[in-house]
Amino acid sequence: MTDSGPAKQVYHTLDCIGLYCPMPVLKTREEMDRIAVGEVLEVLADDSAAEPDLRAWAKRTGQQILKVEKTSEGLRFLIFKSK
């Protein structure tokens, strides 16, 4: 990311590589409960269901997925805690 503003800075990383549904969403929810509003969580996952599951969870909980990108290991999500 090129933005240097505080809303774009990654504060925490959650490694869910090797975990399968529903664990990436459950672990993400637990980690989001630990971070402050305005912080960004980076989630790494290789489960093919992670993207639709995390998008549905974010929509349901009012969190914002800033970015999803493919990596050599799977997917990288940047999730902004908005409330």
Q: Which residues are designated catalytic? A: 21
Which of 33, 34, 80, 73 shows the shortest CA–CA distance to 50? 73
User: Which secondary structure element, helix H or strand E, spans residue 16, and what is its range?
Assistant: strand 10-16
Joined together, the tokens standing for residue 64 give 């914002």
Identify whether the C-beta of residue 42 lies closer than 8 Å to the C-beta of residue 77.
Answer: yes
Q: Where are the beta strands (DSSP E) in 1-82?
A: 10-16, 40-45, 64-70, 75-80
